[in-house]
Structure 1
């Protein structure tokens, strides 16, 4: 073991003896003889922040990741000094700071070590760029597993992996290829059934090694900036993810149509083709809520313009599509064509809004329009200007939503695929180079887009999409996993990426269903749709150079399967909307890997395929050709097979039959699943009745249904409806209680309750202590009953 009295080892510098300590409310400052200061902040009882300065100087404390509304506060905070260490205690954690080395050890109240430094903080001067490469190494605990880190195309459990964060345009990336489009430097550690999280809030290129180089060491480091990380304690993964998501924020509720099925391609044009596409969806009765226009709608790829040859009257077309239930989503990229006759370029140049190289000239790079300059979205003035540019598209042309692509930023014909590192940025008044701003460039672009869309679609809610992101981008935008490939391997990659993104605080995510590059077979397309309808963002998108990828592009069998699964998604919209509300309100990820769902079960720690959709639906995609079923792990508890009604006991692997027209789907016993009738688009039908599929359980289970006007902001003033259901099943009895909140009045007056898996024949039914005639119940194996939506208690007894 290296002692920190050796101030330099292999070029690295280390803190030495602590010579000064002071406390300032929720902050503790420890200063070493050689000028290192540790600032330890207690955010909450189980959330801490560690910042390290060298040469007695902290950098300005500024972050794009942190939500200004993040929770703060604790109920206990004590500090004690001994001969060898300082001990900081909250009601959940004990933090030891070693006086000789400044190393940290964090344990729970019972003394169980949760996380501890190995070498701890150390640094190395960066002779090329100045400043320091900052490093942290931790001891890997026995049996420790690691999760999170955003859209990494690798195994869910990161043990033994090394990854890095540098948002990159990785067209047709492969399994284990790294880095990709997003930089989310947050991971979850799990050992001895205790989970914690670390968020390294540093926007320089960063690296994470999960016992890859050294078996007993976990480390993270960055090419510049500060060693600045947050620590969250569980002990359950759910609490860790909730704490991180609270710190970095959640989005507002989207319009319900944003959760429908979306169709995209590079590119749909001219106008006639777009209209024909829309007409075919309606003719074939395949639900669809949005059609996307890629870069070919523009005049020479100039953002905020239209090619009037292809689209002579955009507003008339968009209005016509809207009449038939389609929302129009357009792409906007960051590269602005160098063209003195182009008004956006001229405005930005006049206002000096473009990014500059170190010696003064504008950053110039090739993208789709040719030579482009790039706005500096880290400048608040530029963001304000950019937001205003959307007025024409939205107010005048009627566009409903915006999709930001190429915002890493992607630059063509250069080896780095992006801007040079010497480019200068405002960084909200903290001037810096592209080394620091690169990972947040796309995030700040979509932030500006979000502000503009929100302003101009008002009083409706905004919906925007981004490809590039840094931690906290979920406050502004949905996302997708980038330019994937139409292969079975990429179906597997999409599954793990979306699970990982949800566990990393960014739940509004999906993949390009069917693959962006290359051509899927009909079977692969059907299997991908079966997965994609259970992702929060559901969109088919393809590069268009290999053929069509619409639901009817294969054969009749595939078309029918695709329709069937899109219809299932539309039936589940109230369930999906409730998932989103819980994500916003309770910071609960919309999809849950099995380890999140049941971390006590060691079998879940290395599962990649199965996941929980919301809280009650278990999904497992078929990920190989010619499959008639698959082996999958059923988590502990009892689960109802969605297709057959069979109740299976979990905690083991099982063979599940699933021919081409099915996917393994199970419903947790006791669940109450809300369903709407199938609609061709959100709002097509007035909902006259809410169906509740009630799955019997011996015991207690809770379910929730959230509803509101599906658009607008009345829900923020209490105009929402929350129905909390408590199911309690016994041998010959089933009781369902309803607890209501909110002032929104739903359009329906009754529930149709489908009783699934009842182990007894119904003898009597009471609603709010009033008997109900059994004539109202079909007792032919498909037990259903219609009752008022305002019931308080449904009581069913058996023979």
Structure 2
């Protein structure tokens, strides 16, 4: 492709010809005669890092996003020189680097194009700030689709979009509004049934253009820093997402209660109001595990304090709530009130831990307490101090989780909504301005909070939730999508944001159910609950300034719908916990858009509404008012309608009728879905048996169930139970085999099996090759069998 660079990129600078190259183990350095160096590092056969500098040497290599505990390695690396290019070959891909202009092409081993540079790397000198605006242009192919980039409030497929990454407090954001709270500069490309990923690890304000400005060009650029990106080859989307999630890290397993239902509002106070809310949940028998306290629990919005008027004895209150099954989660913001009598402020001042302007004074900004200074969480010493501040909250008062808000960082009454760009940061010894540190500020706050809670909650597991995040934040924290609005459009946005966050490595995410700003109708709230229970983090939250937003605020019908769906979530806790285990261990996203589930089916490439919850449940929310059904797309395979148990063939669009107390829910044929009995909170009941719902299939299917002590770290010592159930259905037979890993012994002794869609009447039952009587397994002649939990093989014969 011949490109007239003078016309297309006026004022930009480009690498010139390669004059030398060297290899150091897994890295190849290409030097040009205008001082550009390209460093190509092979981390895996399918993951290659490209790092450019224009100054003849590289600055210190440091990233908050990369998980340093992850090991990498490759099977094959060959470097060869041809007349006009260099070739780097692994066992998965080959990389061609052009000698005359440093442009890069990446191909599979058959020579098929995966990703090619258009102009490739170029830059513009930034005379205002120093350094470069670094740019990269790739060829975008006809029919190519793009996914990822975190919590963008736009169509799942990013083709034709231009997006910006700058963590921003966007109260009541709208569809397509840019930028939002999180920065995840990672996208997935898909063309010709081949998927690849690009992670642009640059924390400056950055931009992505997916064939928006020019039809066949995808580009990304940043206001400073290095052109530093990782290329990940699939060819399956699942391979790309897993590899990226390994690269940026996975969380530890959360305590099971965090997967229950949470209730929040700005704000529940005084104590009597908190007790009224929690009491109503128990009275109405709507399961709930967590109650949140927003900024009004503090004394004048000072972090790490309690209002003596509203909460005279927080330790007693938290203990009483715990006795009733409620875990207390409190908000902590970064703004520390400037007040010489406030102990946190005094400590921060004495230790010189607050962020400073370039010319010396502390950065001062207005947030809820008024004038505040802000800790520099990019300083490891400050993080250590911050972690220590949680001792009283967690160890003494008994708070179980902390919610970090306003950490974009948000500042009121200034047009930029954030710090001035000249604010200085330690950046773990790599001193820099806020231009570089802004996008990681929230993550480093959440990290410091996580380290504190982990220290003081031990031997229990910590729980942190953050509003702002950069790639890799999932190692420390869950998140929510910020201040959304009680509209049908925002219900659509929330559904897409959750799928996108899952594909972007940040699985433990939810939206404010019902909408934060404004007031939902009863119907909208019900529809949002029906979607929200299928998101990894499940919390109702509202500003409370437009009316009440508890489930009972909308009348009896909505109470019943809320109870029905929250109960379903609690029944599905072992299924959800298993999803989490697979995410934590293998980087498997908990929610899967249809394109992830079947990228070869072109019909899935632009689907936004349907998603796979875990591996085997298909969810399709109702997203408009007055709807008693909807058109939807069923992906490949056969699916059971969860409500009617009718089997429907996939790979087609169809109309699904539902009542107001339902949404389209389908279960994959052959799935074995684990369920617990309904509890009002995690740990309320001793589980007497595990229920398995078996959806018959003519053929084979595997399902899994992960269990452990539901909290604590014994699972790291092998005390967990990971069961694999292999189903093999025949015309007149059904065989279920069980294989168990791990040393954890569940308290229940039996498994209750419900058979759905069995096409024959059972005449004989064998367990571990021995015939058993119907009475010994409590077979009711219909669909239910109770067996010992340690069976190896169950054989049903018709």
Q: Shared fold (TM-score greater than 0.5)?
A: yes
Contact 1:409 1:442 in 2 (8 A): yes
How far the C-alpha of 1:3 sits from its partner, in A, is 5.9
Within-5 A mapping of 1:418-457: 418-457=418-457
Shift of 1:9: 4.6
Alpha-carbon distance between aligned partners in 1 of 2:9 and 2:267, rounded to the nearest angstrom? 56
Q: CA RMSD in A?
A: 1.2
In structure 2, the CA distance between the partners of 1:778 and 1:748, relative to structure 1 (3 Å rule), is closer
| 1:759 aligned partner | 759
SS of corresponding position for 1:167: coil
In 1: Cα distance, 2:607 partner to 2:646 partner: 23
Are the equivalent residues in 2 in contact too, given 1:4–1:16 (CA < 8 A)? no
2:642 is matched with which residue? 642
Distance across 2 between alignment mates of 1:69 and 1:451: 17
Tell me, yes or no, if the aligned pair for 2:777 and 2:787 is still in contact at 8 Å: no
Q: What residue number does 1:17 align with?
A: 17
Name the SS of the counterpart of 1:697 in structure 2. coil
2:305 maps to 305
Q: Secondary structure at the match of 2:553?
A: coil
Question: For residues 44-85 of structure 1, what are the alpha-carbon distances to aligned partners after superposition, in whole Å with 9 as ceiling and x for unaligned?
Answer: 010000000112121210000000122300111101101111
Partners in 2 of 1:153 and 1:371 — Cα distance? 32
| Residues 108-257 of structure 1 aligned to structure 2 (within 5 Å) | 108-257=108-257
CA contact (8 A) 1:4 1:100 kept: no
Q: Distance in 2 between matches of 1:146 and 1:152?
A: 13
| Paired position in structure 2 for 1:349 | 349
CA distance in 1, matches of 2:331, 2:467: 11
Q: What's the secondary structure of 1:100's corresponding residue? A: coil
Q: 2-side partners of 1:731 and 1:110: how far apart?
A: 43
Aligned length: 798
Asked whether the equivalents of residues 163 and 209 of structure 2 are also in contact (C-alpha less than 8 Å), the reply is yes
Number of the residue aligned with 2:552: 552
Could you tell me how far 1:6 is from its partner in structure 2? 7.0
Conserved 8 A contact 1:486-1:515: yes
Structure 2 partner of 1:597: 597
Aligned to 1:337: 337
**1:513 aligned residue:** 513
Asked whether the 8 Å contact 2:779–2:785 carries over to 1, the reply is: no
| Secondary structure at the counterpart of residue 491 of structure 2 | helix
SS in 2 for 1:490: helix
| Range that drifts further, 54-63 or 318-327 | 54-63
State the match for 1:706 in structure 2.
706
Give the whole-Å Cα distance in 1 for the aligned partners of 2:779 and 2:739.
28
Map 1:266-665 to 2 at 5 A.
266-665=266-665
Q: Distance in 1 between matches of 2:628 and 2:569?
A: 23
Q: Which digits, 9 at most, give the CA deviation of each residue in 1:519-538, with x for residues without a partner?
A: 00111000000000000000
Contact 2:590 2:614 in 1 (8 A): yes
| Aligned pairs for 1:666-705 within 5 A | 666-705=666-705
CA separation in 1, counterparts of 2:660 and 2:552? 16
Mapping for residues 51-66 of structure 1, pairs under 5 Å: 51-66=51-66
Is this contact kept in 1: 2:778–2:786, CA < 8 A?
Answer: no
Alpha-carbon distance between aligned partners in 2 of 1:138 and 1:364, rounded to the nearest angstrom: 42
Change beyond 3 A, Cα 1:782–1:641: farther
CA–CA distance in structure 2, aligned partners of residues 351 and 424 of structure 1:
16
Asked if 2 retains the 8 angstrom alpha-carbon contact of 1:71 and 1:246, the reply is no
Contact 2:335 2:374 in 1 (8 A): yes
Aligned-pair CA distance for 1:331 = 0.1
- Report the counterpart of residue 104 of structure 1 in structure 2: 104
Partner of 2:725: 725
CA distance in 1, matches of 2:227, 2:174: 31
- Residue 81 (structure 1) aligned with residue 77 (structure 2): no
User: What is the rounded CA distance, in whole Å, between the counterparts of 1:155 and 1:668 in structure 2?
Assistant: 26
Please list the CA deviations of residues 19-61 of structure 1 after superposition, one character each: whole Å capped at 9, or x if unmatched: 0011000000000011100000000010000000112121210
Q: State whether residues 252 and 475 of structure 2, in contact with CA within 8 Å, keep that contact through their aligned partners in structure 1.
A: yes
Distance 1:748 1:777, change over 3 A: closer
Q: CA deviation at 1:764?
A: 1.2
CA 1:608–1:427: 2 relative to 1, 3 Å:
same
Q: Which residue of 2 aligns with 1:95?
A: 95
Q: Distance in 2 between matches of 1:294 and 1:187?
A: 34
Give the C-alpha shift of residue 143 in structure 1.
1.1
Note the alpha carbon deviations across 1:674-717, whole angstroms, 9 max, x for none.
Answer: 00000000000010100000110111111000000001000000
- For the residue of structure 2 that corresponds to 1:500, the secondary structure is helix
Contact kept in structure 2, 1:768 and 1:794, CA below 8 Å: yes
Contact 1:336 1:345 in 2 (8 A): yes
TM-score, length of structure 1 as denominator length: 0.99
Offset at residue 5 of structure 1 (A): 9.2
The 2-side partners of 1:629 and 1:142 are apart by 35
- Report deviation, 1:774: 2.8
How far did residue 782 of structure 1 move? Answer: 4.3
Query: What is the CA-CA distance between 1:15 and the residue it aligns to?
Result: 0.5
Distance 1:667 1:276 in 2: 38
1:774-789 equivalences under 5 Å are 774-775=774-775, 782-789=782-789
1:762 match: secondary structure:
coil
Offset at residue 781 of structure 1 (A):
7.8
Question: Contact 2:295–2:301 at 8 Å: present in 1 too?
Answer: yes
Q: CA deviation at 1:86?
A: 0.4
Secondary structure in 2 matching 1:283:
helix
Gaps of 5+ in 1: none
Task: Call closer, same or farther: CA 1:324–1:269 in 2, change over 3 Å.
Answer: same
Q: What is the TM-score when the length of structure 2 is the normalising length?
A: 0.99
Shift of 1:772: 2.1
Distance in structure 2 (CA, Å) of the matches to 1:549 and 1:672: 36
With over 3 angstroms needed to count, the CA separation of the structure-2 counterparts of 1:645 and 1:432, relative to structure 1, is same
Matches for 1:18-57 after TM superposition, within 5 Å:
18-57=18-57
| Alpha-carbon separation, structure 1, partners of 2:9 and 2:656 | 56
Do the aligned partners of 1:298 and 1:307 also contact (CA within 8 Å) in 2?
Answer: yes
CA shift for structure 1 position 142? 2.3
Distance in structure 2 (CA, Å) of the matches to 1:9 and 1:339: 52
CA distance in 2, matches of 1:110, 1:303: 59
Contact 1:171 1:483 in 2 (8 A): yes
Instruction: Give yes or no for contact 1:7–1:14 (8 Å, CA) kept in 2.
Output: no
1:780 deviates by 7.2
CA distance, structure 1, for counterparts of residue 189 and residue 375 of structure 2:
38
Cα distance in 2, alignment partners of residues 639 and 5 from structure 1: 53
Alpha carbons 2:779, 2:786 under 8 Å: kept: no
CA distance in 2, matches of 1:70, 1:164: 29
Q: Distance in 1 between matches of 2:87 and 2:306?
A: 64
Deviations 1:81-129 (A, max 9, x none): 0111100000000000000110000001111100000000000000111
| C-alpha distance in structure 2 between counterparts of 1:59 and 1:218, whole Å | 27
Partner-residue secondary structure (3-state), 1:553: helix
Say if 1:5 and 1:101, in contact at 8 Å, map to a contact too: no
Is residue 718–residue 742 contact of structure 2 (8 Å, CA) maintained in 1? yes
User: 1: distance between equivalents of 2:227 and 2:508?
Assistant: 29
- What is the aligned partner in structure 1 of residue 770 from structure 2? 770
Q: 2:173, 2:484 within 8 Å by CA — same for their partners in 1?
A: yes
Find the residue that maps to 1:300 and give its secondary structure: coil
Is it true that 1:263 corresponds to 2:295 in the alignment?
no
Is residue 4–residue 15 contact of structure 1 (8 Å, CA) maintained in 2? no
Q: How far apart, in 2, do the equivalents of 1:185 and 1:406 lie? A: 21
* Cα pair 1:776 1:785 within 8 Å, conserved: no
